[in-house]
Amino acid sequence: MSPTAPSVSRRLLGRLRDVMAGGGTAQDRLDRVVKLIAADLVAEVCSCYVMRAGEVLELFATEGLRKDAVHRTRLRVGEGLVGDIAAHARPLAIADAQNHPSYVYRPETGEEIYHSLLGVPILRGGRVLGVLVVQNRSLRQYIEEEIETLETVAMVLAELVAGGSLIPREEQIAADGNALLPLRIDGVKLNGGIGIGSAVLHKSRVVIHRLVAEDAEVEMARLKEALARMHRALDELLESQDLVKGGEHRDVMETYRMFAEDTGWITRIGEAIRGGLTAEAAVQKVHDDTRHRMTQITDPYLRERLHDLEDLANRLLQYLAGRGESPADLPDDAILFARSLGPAELLDYDRRKLKALVLEEGSPTMHVAIIARALDIPVIGQARDVLERVEPLDPVVVDGDGGTVYIRPGEDVMGAFQANLKHRAQRIAVYATQRDLPPVTLDGTRIGLFVNAGLPADLAFLGDSGADGIGLYRTEIPFMARSDLPDVETQAQLYRQVLDAAEGKPVLFRTLDVGGDKVLPYWQGGVEENPAMGWRSIRITLDRPAVMRQQLRALLRAAAGRDLSVMFPMIAEVAEFEMARAVLDMEIGRERRGGGRIPKSIRVGTMIEVPALAYQMDALLPRVDFLSVGSNDLVQFLFASDRGNPRIAERYDTLAPSLLGFLRHLVQRADAAKVPISLCGEMGGQPLEAMALIGLGFRSLSMPVSAIGPVRGMIRSLALEPLAGFVQSLLLNPDHSLRDRLKAYAADHGVQIG
């Protein structure tokens, strides 16, 4: 079949189109479809199972099995081979099905004479609606082209199954879905804050009415035009000034834009069109195939990228339908509900009216959560079945701090949260008036407050925040935003702009930190089971010394006559730092020999993210000018807890005695050697955590720009000496977390932690 698979697919799709357009009931059409599939795929049996309420698969139509088994044979999801296909949303091709350990015999079907089986899930919008199966008497080895053909046919059948004519749509609605009583749903905090407003359901997916193409060339032209329009709109979105605040979220949008030009994705869509599908159906088929493959990946971060691909697929479908991105007008107090959301989809909405976001899926590392944090929008993820329980314009309260959604709340709940929201607004106004006040404790100790940044545009907010400088500048963005490696002059021009915009305030440049969750289109590192602990960061650039040399050369030229601070990330042992420092020394010598103007001063340091480095402090400290603790990676490595895995993301607390004791050890050793040490990461931007860090001895913290105000207010309300003694007394405590004890201390001593 393989040489003629595309023609078979087109012929079969054409016949299916005629059946779908014909008369008769939905059951009549389904009966004709299974007969047609069996004939075209040279199978003795073709059967269609449809998902009923309670996760039961019912045999709805068959060609080859006994007719009286229709509507009698039922299998639970996970039961038998058909149930296994539904449970895992993946195809199965088995030459000897009866000897498979999952095989379950149903005598009423008469299937004992059939040995081989090929089955595929019937998918729509990522949800399993049923299973389509073909069987043969012989021990047949089904090939990849046959599997793809059956998947394409299943996609066409999905529209018939979902249409509501075979089984009523109400059958899939939860019993309490239309209740008018108050409802509380617990989820996971993805971004803190409180949102009060009216429910808005995220725009529904594009319904594809025409699946089979009449002219492949016409469909290819439509695809090309829709892609061009989508790329232009994304470019305009990236140029929006609304995106400059923060830093990490800009990385996200650059990566998202790169996905939109992925040649593999576009090529697969073209192949599906040439196989007989319309452009819309081809986009959906490729997305369903990709979704199936990515759900098999064990790494949570890579699986989270599926949301970005869903966003792109839906966005492209909107353009093919001639609509572009045009979300419905929002009420002034919109609470947006969605199963999942891509980063650009969130930006399609008017952020001035968007008060919170609630997702059925999600984790803290998903890209839409990063964008929402930059825009200060409260987000709750993993709110199970929330879309079935909320109606448009329902009154809603989102408690982002507690990870709870209140739908149709009572007056007492609504009143309590309205008072809380008013109090928060008052605090923000106070922070604005304190912008020019120094971050000095009550007993006179000054704490350096720095911001994390990723683009020159981020520095526009440096002056507004009153920060002391840039404590972490991520240099990887120009590498991620291009289809090829940027040259030395391109990099030098960018770094020069950063230094100019900082207007003399210090900027700490972190060298290239890619790999893991930051993929470059021109480097194929291969699939890794645990990318966070794999070939990433300094490990890549030490293996690609030309890349490191070019970046360091660009930094030296950009900082000519000025101060330069360079930090190497992900250092696991002093030997790695020595190798990186040797490359820098080589480039300094090269610039001098060439008559170039070198920086006025050069400070070199490292991030402490890998715990092993802490046990080489005696060897490390004489070799560095400064240290910076990268709390995000350090925490996950110290606890062996993947921060991208929602099941354990909040299992361990950053205020655990073990972590605080580890940090105290680092501070003591650095202070004894008179080496400055700071902390960058999410931990430094939380007032309570920042209070603990200051008590441990940190005198410099780097954080998102939005955290500067709250942390400054906390610093100006605390006395350092009693705090240091209290924190020191807690470090031998055996508790899971010291959070409650630190909160109590703040309350007793009037420390403003929000």
pLDDT band at 213 (very low <50, low <70, confident <90, very high): confident
Whether residue 665 is predicted with pLDDT greater than 80 in this model: the reply is: yes
pLDDT band at 307 (very low <50, low <70, confident <90, very high): low
Convert the pLDDT of each residue in 329-363 to its tens digit.
788 999 999 888 876 678 778 888 999 999 988 77
Mean pLDDT on 271-295: 79
**Domain containing 611 — which CATH number?**
3.20.20.60
What's the pLDDT score for residue 392? 80
The least confident of 108-117, 349-358, 715-724 is 349-358
Q: Residue 337 sits in which domain range?
A: 183-203+329-427
Is the Cβ–Cβ distance between 532 and 609 less than 8 Å? no
3-state secondary structure of 520: coil
Shared-domain flag, residues 612 and 701: yes
Please tell me which residue in 292, 680, 736, 749 is annotated as part of the active site: 680
- Report how far Cα 53 is from the mean position of its chain's Cα atoms: 31
pLDDT band at 632 (very low <50, low <70, confident <90, very high): confident
Please tell me which residue in 202, 307, 367, 423 is annotated as part of the active site: 367
3-state secondary structure of 415: helix
Based on its alpha-carbon atoms, the radius of gyration of the chain, rounded to whole angstroms, reads: 29
Contacts of 347 (CB under 8 A, 6+ apart): 237, 240, 242, 243, 253, 371
For residue 175, tell me if it sits in a domain.
Answer: no
More confident of the two residues 477 and 688? 688
Structure tokens given for 139: 């021990």
Shared-domain flag, residues 567 and 714: yes
Convert the pLDDT of each residue in 531-578 to its tens digit.
678 788 899 889 888 889 999 999 999 999 999 999 999 999 999 999
Mean pLDDT on 464-490: 79
pLDDT band at 114 (very low <50, low <70, confident <90, very high): very high
Residues pairing with 453 in the sheet: 473
Shared-domain flag, residues 125 and 15: yes
β-pairing, 92-94 vs 74-76, is unpaired
Shared-domain flag, residues 693 and 548: yes
Measure the CA–CA gap between 712 and 719, rounded to whole angstroms: 13
List alpha helices for 295-410, DSSP H.
Answer: 300-320, 343-347, 367-374
What DSSP state is assigned to residue 439? -
More confident of the two residues 536 and 412? 536
Contacts of 593 (CB under 8 A, 6+ apart): none
Percent of the chain with pLDDT over 90: 44
The least confident of 311-315, 547-551, 589-593 is 311-315
Mean pLDDT on 720-734: 95
Shared-domain flag, residues 196 and 220: no
pLDDT band at 6 (very low <50, low <70, confident <90, very high): very low
For residue 172, tell me if it sits in a domain.
Answer: no
Shared-domain flag, residues 510 and 657: yes
What's the pLDDT score for residue 454? 74
Nearest to 472 by CA among 584, 565, 557: 565
Q: How many CB atoms lie within 10 A of CB 681?
A: 24
What's the pLDDT score for residue 414? 83
Q: What angle do CA 56, 340, 49 make, to 5 degrees?
A: 20
Measure the CA–CA gap between 260 and 80, rounded to whole angstroms: 39
For residue 131, tell me if it sits in a domain.
Answer: yes
Active site residue 680: yes
Percent of the chain with pLDDT over 70: 83
Cα-based distances in Å from 159 to 37, 124, 204, 642? 16, 8, 15, 39
**Domain containing 293 — which CATH number?**
1.10.274.10
Shared-domain flag, residues 415 and 449: no
Dihedral of CA atoms 618, 622, 625, 626 in degrees, nearest 10, equals 10
Entry field: residues in the chain: 754
pLDDT band at 245 (very low <50, low <70, confident <90, very high): very low
Number of domains in the chain: 4
For residue 626, tell me if it sits in a domain.
Answer: yes
For residue 174, tell me if it sits in a domain.
Answer: no
More confident of the two residues 280 and 23? 280
What's the pLDDT score for residue 156? 83
pLDDT band at 244 (very low <50, low <70, confident <90, very high): very low
For residue 173, tell me if it sits in a domain.
Answer: no
Task: Give the helix/strand (H/E) hosting 610.
Answer: none
3-state secondary structure of 164: coil
Shared-domain flag, residues 377 and 438: no
Shared-domain flag, residues 342 and 470: no
Sign, CA dihedral 678-683-687-690, equals negative
What's the pLDDT score for residue 344? 64
**25-56 burial code (b ≥16 CB/10 A, e <16):** ebeebbbbbbbbbbebbebbbbbbbbbbeeeb
For residue 18, tell me if it sits in a domain.
Answer: yes
Indicate the residue among 392, 409, 427 that finishes a domain.
Answer: 427
Measure the CA–CA gap between 6 and 465, rounded to whole angstroms: 60
Q: How many CB atoms lie within 10 A of CB 236?
A: 9
Shared-domain flag, residues 679 and 638: yes
Is the Cβ–Cβ distance between 167 and 149 less than 8 Å? no
Shared-domain flag, residues 653 and 701: yes
Contacts of 550 (CB under 8 A, 6+ apart): 485, 487, 488, 491
**Domain containing 39 — which CATH number?**
3.30.450.40
Query: Can you tell me which residue has the tokens 């020159």?
Result: 456
Q: Where would I find the beta strands (DSSP E) of 583-625?
A: 601-608
Query: Can you tell me which residue has the tokens 């009693």?
Result: 722
Q: What angle do CA 187, 188, 194 make, to 5 degrees?
A: 85
**Domain containing 198 — which CATH number?**
3.50.30.10
**Could you report how far apart the first and last alpha carbons of the chain are, in Å?**
67
3-state secondary structure of 85: helix
pLDDT band at 178 (very low <50, low <70, confident <90, very high): very low
Mean pLDDT on 315-338: 77
Is the Cβ–Cβ distance between 596 and 552 less than 8 Å? no
- Mean pLDDT (the chain) is 84
Nearest to 413 by CA among 404, 424, 401, 426: 404
Whether residue 371 is predicted with pLDDT greater than 80 in this model: the reply is: no
Shared-domain flag, residues 481 and 410: no
Q: Give the 3-state secondary structure percentages of the chain, helix then strand then coil, rounded to 5.
A: 50, 15, 35
Indicate the residue among 427, 449, 475 that finishes a domain.
Answer: 427
Indicate the residue among 320, 346, 371 that finishes a domain.
Answer: 320
Nearest to 495 by CA among 514, 483, 512: 512
Active site residue 367: yes
For residue 679, tell me if it sits in a domain.
Answer: yes
